Structure 1
Amino acid sequence: MLAPPVADVAHSTFVSLAFDGSQIDGGLYTDITDWARTAPSWLDSLIKYWSAYGIVIFAVLMLLVWWSARRQPSGMMTRVLAAPIVVVVAYVANDLLKSVVQERRPCQQIPHSFNLETCAGPGDWAFPSNHTVVAFSAAVALLLIHRRIGWLAVLAATAMGASRVYVGAHYPHDVLVGAVVGIVLAAVLVPLAGRLGTPLVDRARQGRLKPFLADV
């Protein structure tokens, strides 16, 4: 008997290692995507656009809190400067978790599911949702800096997470765990960065960076 081709063996191994998220909340996922199937096309288009590009709103909000923090103590400015770094750290940590769990996308596991977003290819894992981790880590960082803008960011993050299920990119548990990862990392790292980095910002406010770090 001839041995199976190497490609077939590799594919079989890939399938056996991949985590099957459909056993957790696949039914809820299909209920939500079925709503998208029957929804007005303008609503689907709006949510699809938000899901793809809404993440930009968090960068805009961070610019707003930076401008406001120029008139605040150095500790506040330190948190502002740390916020985007914390978001990047959360993204990288989440990507590592994705590579360990290796949950395939729902569009690959549930036949005939409705998807507004093009199905990701093999190796683009689903759990947890990167969009949601980025959104919630940014939202919590903003909440620790500016309460009013922060709550606006939390609403935007919630909308982002919900949209990732609606467009068919993630299971609900991908989004829920992504939110937890983002919240926990930002809640720990932003205050820590504020304590450790304030002396550096104090000195920087006296140098060439003063126009960017203080209201002169």
Structure 2
Amino acid sequence: MSAPGAPVPLALDGSRIDGSLYGDVTDAARHAPWALNDVISFWSSFGLAFFALLTLLAWWRARGADAAVMARVLAAPVVVGVVYAADMALKSLVREPRPCRALPHSFTLESCPAPGDWSFPSNHAVIAFSVATVLWFAHRRIGAVAALAALAMAASRVWVGVHYPHDVVAGALVGVVLSVPLTLAASRGAGWVERARGGRLRPLLASA
């Protein structure tokens, strides 16, 4: 029993929101070619590494850009870390069980996460859209690629059966809404970048 005055977890029942849509998607996955499912499963599990590569590319391109752009790219790990922490706090508050545990006989391409590994919002969607937001303010083309990849990541999490559609939509919103002000605030580090470009860090912060 909770202590007096302690916050009561929401314990969201996601199946009442879009459980039928989740079932439609996972049923499509059940009947899809295994070659397609293998590709989607691989992307769902390891696709976040692609966002790290895009961030490295953005850093490389930012060496020839103004200091504010470089400041935003350098802040990417901090921005994503802060947003991820907020996401985990929200997960702990809402405590939505995974659909593969709440819905009997649901089809999954991945092993269902353990009890207590809550579903809302999707961590993968939060991280992907947070990175995409930072990169959008650093380099439009790289940001556009990241946005498309983030959409693919969010969709894959439903396809493999570990999230409801509303989980990934919420993850996308959390990733974008929190990352925009943090990324813009990171522009204030332009002065530090300018000074650092005149010192030993110049090879890392400016092109030759």
- With normalisation by structure 1, the TM-score equals 0.90
Selected match of 1:169 from 131, 140, 162: 162
- CA–CA separation in structure 2 for the residues paired with 1:102 and 1:205: 46
2:21 equivalent in structure 1: 28
Q: Does 1:189 align with 2:193?
A: no
**Cα deviations by residue, 1:120-172 (Å, 9 ceiling, x for unpaired):** 11110000000000000101111111111111110000000000000001000
Selected match of 2:91 from 92, 98, 106: 98
On the 8 A contact 2:10/2:93 being kept in 1, the answer is no
Selected match of 1:207 from 170, 176, 199: 199
Selected match of 1:45 from 38, 45, 55: 38
Q: After TM superposition, give the deviation of residue 210 of structure 1 in Å.
A: 1.1
- CA–CA separation in structure 1 for the residues paired with 2:135 and 2:143: 5
Q: After TM superposition, give the deviation of residue 19 of structure 1 in Å.
A: 2.1
- CA–CA separation in structure 2 for the residues paired with 1:100 and 1:178: 15
**Cα deviations by residue, 1:6-40 (Å, 9 ceiling, x for unpaired):** xxx89xxxxx9632110100000000000000001
Identity %: 57
Structure 2, unpaired ranges of 5+: 3-8
After TM superposition, the structure 1 = structure 2 runs for residues 69-88 of structure 1, keeping only pairs within 5 Å, are 69-88=62-81
On the 8 A contact 2:69/2:137 being kept in 1, the answer is no
- CA–CA separation in structure 2 for the residues paired with 1:31 and 1:142: 33
Number of positions where the alignment pairs a residue of Structure 1 with one of Structure 2: 202
How large is the Cα RMSD of the aligned pairs?
A: 1.4
- CA–CA separation in structure 2 for the residues paired with 1:157 and 1:63: 17
Structure 1, unpaired ranges of 5+: 1-8, 11-15
**Cα deviations by residue, 1:67-123 (Å, 9 ceiling, x for unpaired):** 111111111110110122111111111011000000010011000000001011111
After TM superposition, the structure 1 = structure 2 runs for residues 118-197 of structure 1, keeping only pairs within 5 Å, are 118-194=111-187, 196-197=188-189
2:132 maps to amino acid: A
- CA–CA separation in structure 2 for the residues paired with 1:214 and 1:90: 28
Larger Rg computed on CA atoms: 1
Q: Does 1:115 align with 2:122?
A: no
2:57 equivalent in structure 1: 64
- CA–CA separation in structure 1 for the residues paired with 2:82 and 2:113: 23
Give the 4+ runs in structure 1 shifted more than 4 A: none
